[in-house]
Amino acid sequence: MGSKTFFCVDAHTCGNPVRLVAGGGPLLNGANMSEKRQHFLKEYDWIRTGLMFEPRGHDMMSGSILYPPHDPENDVAVLFIETSGCLPMCGHGTIGTITIAIEEGLIQPKVPGIVRMEAPAGLVLIEYKQVEGKVHSVKLRNVPAYLASENLEIECPDLGVLTFDVAYGGNFYAIVDPQENFPGLEHYTAAQLITWSQVIRKRINEKYTFVHPQDATINGCSHVLWSGKPIDPSSSGRNAVFYGEKAIDRSPCGTGTSARMAQLHAKGKLKAGEDFIHESFIGSKFTGRVEAQAKV
Catalytic residues: 90, 253
User: Are β-strands 221-228 and 172-176 bridged in parallel, bridged antiparallel, or unpaired?
Assistant: parallel
**What whole-number distance in Å separates Cα of residue 221 and Cα of residue 224?**
8
Q: How many residues does the chain have?
A: 296
Helix, strand, coil share of the chain (percent; to 5): 20, 40, 40
Q: Is the dihedral of CA 39, 22, 142, 251 positive or negative?
A: positive
CB-CB contact of 256 with 241 (8 Å): yes
Report how far apart, in Å, the C-alpha atoms of 31 and of each of 1, 36, 45, 65, 285 are: 29, 7, 19, 17, 36
R_g of the chain, CA atoms, integer Å: 18
Cis upstream peptide for 112 (omega within 30°): no
- E strand or H helix that includes residue 197: helix 190-207
